């Protein structure tokens, strides 16, 4: 089996896992959204842009059913892996375009998110720091590109 086919199979498996983690046991509108997301994962095998719709429908399932934070984190991890693999499978390079840093980052951010929800802090002023933190991260990320040619 070639690398592109392996990437396709892994993408479909992670996409279906993404939906199953939060969609199992739902009924009513969340159930309809979960079935639609599963169908979108299958359709995305042929039409790659539908993969994004599958992730958005899974977000709708989460919004409508409000599952446990650990399940949401796991579904988000599967969503990141799904999109990376789905777009890797579209090219001829297959799994060669999926880097270890991408996967480590996805797992790391998932763990940080799950740990952050485990400690419900009552700090109403904390969201005010978010724009400053984003700006500081932006400055750090663009710093290498903003240097003068002389130094």
Phi-psi region of 88 (alpha: psi -120 to 50; beta: other; left: phi over 0): alpha
For the chain, percent helix, then strand, then coil, each to nearest 5?
75, 0, 25
pLDDT of residue 91: 64
Q: pLDDT tens, 58-100?
A: 999 999 998 988 899 999 999 999 998 888 766 665 666 677 8
- % of the chain exceeding 70 in pLDDT: 89
- % of the chain exceeding 90 in pLDDT: 40
Q: pLDDT tens, 94-117?
A: 666 677 888 888 898 899 888 888
């Amino acid at each position: 089996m070639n690398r592109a086919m392996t990437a396709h199979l892994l993408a479909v498996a992670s996409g279906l896992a993404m939906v199953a983690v939060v969609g199992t046991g739902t009924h009513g509108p969340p159930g309809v959204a979960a079935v639609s997301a599963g169908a979108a994962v299958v359709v995305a095998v042929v039409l790659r842009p539908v993969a994004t719709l599958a992730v958005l429908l899974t977000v709708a399932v989460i919004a409508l059913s409000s599952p446990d934070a650990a399940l949401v984190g796991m579904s988000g991890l599967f969503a990141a892996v799904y999109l990376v693999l789905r777009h890797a499978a579209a090219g001829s390079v297959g799994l060669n375009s999926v880097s270890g840093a991408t996967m480590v980052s996805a797992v790391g951010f998932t763990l940080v998110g799950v740990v952050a929800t485990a400690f419900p802090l009552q700090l109403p002023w904390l969201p005010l720091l978010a724009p400053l933190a984003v700006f500081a991260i932006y400055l750090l990320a663009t710093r290498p590109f903003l240097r003068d040619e002389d130094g």
